[in-house]
Amino acid sequence: MISKDEIDDTLRGYNLDRLEICTLGTHTALQIAKGARDEGFRNLLLCTEKGAGFYGRLPVVDDIIEINSYSDILLDGIQDELIDRNVILIPHGSFVEYVGSKNITERLRVPMLGNRLVLEWESNRKMERRWFEEANLRVPREFKAPDEIDRLVMVKFPGARGGAGYFLAKSVDEFHKKLKEVDLPEHIKKEYTIQEYVIGTRFYPHFFYSPLNDELELLGMDIRYESNVDGLVRIPNIIQKEIKEGPSYVITGNIPVVLRESLLPDLMEIGRNLVEGSKRLFKPGVIGPFCVEMICTPELEFVCFEISGRIVAGTNLFIRGSTYSDILYNEPMSCGRRICREIRIARERNKLEEIIY
């Protein structure tokens, strides 16, 4: 485990006038790079060969370092170079996926925005659920054994962000039949989660918690566009019945959405409960951006089924700000920019160690 003392030591050695904002060249890198620029920082992207050709040509990117694979960020030579350049890393979804939350907490010496522990909490389904329960939120019912299935359920697998292999079942027989057919390694298949399928509309709000101001902000909201479940609904029901392929939930894009305004107070309460719950579970709790995946039922209740403790790809919709960020800021405020603003304010107030871990 990289200790907080070690990070603070590294930070004390930094030239704070020459901080560079750095992330892996994928996911939300453009937004982060632009946000850094807008807040007066230089940016740096770590890119694979394919990414280097793309990001390297964009005027918003100050500098790139080409690496063979994203996990090369763990190499000592690369880490030393980043520290020499006074880098603050910004974790995003692909960052966590390619580098791994364990490696981030145990091997990455470069200062990073936010509490690293949150990355472990968000990538483990049991821990996520524990966090939701701590925050007193409604979650989908989970069935411990397949023979308990008494309603429509969604069967999920670990490490399969984007829903690879997920399937729906209405009975124990259907569960076993579909599990057999699923194209996943046997050891992954054994780690299924059986979750009540919640019927309602999805909302993925983008929150930002500032520990410096003790304020929770709503910066935007999206719905994921998922293939082929979103494609299937365009086919009339009679033809759908002839299609053998089940729905899949691989994310292919994001769609903006606003919530019925009268529900915003409830939504903010959910966000605040998650912040307070995180402070109790893993001190100092979540810092900066986080997103909850939730379904709103016809009774106007929110059921929460996933949480991400870092910037999510849906924020790419709002590089020039959203309906919600516009209420808070009189300037285009993306999530990437808000992250860099927090770093700028912390630097001004001499409080970087409160948000960098």
In whole angstroms, give the CA distance from residue 15 to residue 73. Answer: 21
What is residue 285's DSSP assignment? -
| Contacts of residue 231, Cβ cutoff 8 Å, sequence gap at least 6 | none
Q: What is the DSSP string of 24-80?
A: ESSTTHHHHHHHHHHTT-EEEEEE-HHHHHHHTT-TT--EEEE-SSGGGGGSHHHHH
Minimum distance from residue 220 beta carbon to ligand AMP (Å): 17
What is residue 261's DSSP assignment? G
Minimum distance from residue 158 beta carbon to ligand AMP (Å): 10
What is residue 246's DSSP assignment? P
Instruction: Give the nearer residue to ligand AMP in terms of CB position, either 233 or 258.
Output: 233
In whole angstroms, give the CA distance from residue 126 to residue 195. Answer: 12
Minimum distance from residue 232 beta carbon to ligand AMP (Å): 12
208 three-state secondary structure: strand
Minimum distance from residue 89 beta carbon to ligand AMP (Å): 24
Of positions 73, 117, 198, 356, contacts ligand AMP by CB under 6 A: 198
In whole angstroms, give the CA distance from residue 347 to residue 60. Answer: 23
Minimum distance from residue 292 beta carbon to ligand AMP (Å): 11
Query: Which parts of 293-332 interact with ligand AMP (CB under 6 A)?
Result: 293, 295, 305-306
Query: Which parts of 126-145 interact with ligand AMP (CB under 6 A)?
Result: 140
Minimum distance from residue 133 beta carbon to ligand AMP (Å): 16
Query: Which parts of 257-296 interact with ligand AMP (CB under 6 A)?
Result: 293, 295
Contact between 122 and 308 under an 8 Å Cβ cutoff? The reply is: yes
Query: Which parts of 78-137 interact with ligand AMP (CB under 6 A)?
Result: none
Instruction: Give the nearer residue to ligand AMP in terms of CB position, either 143 or 209.
Output: 143
Instruction: Give the nearer residue to ligand AMP in terms of CB position, either 167 or 357.
Output: 167
Binding site for ligand AMP (CB under 6 A): 140, 154, 156, 161, 163, 195-198, 202, 224, 226, 249, 293, 295, 305-306
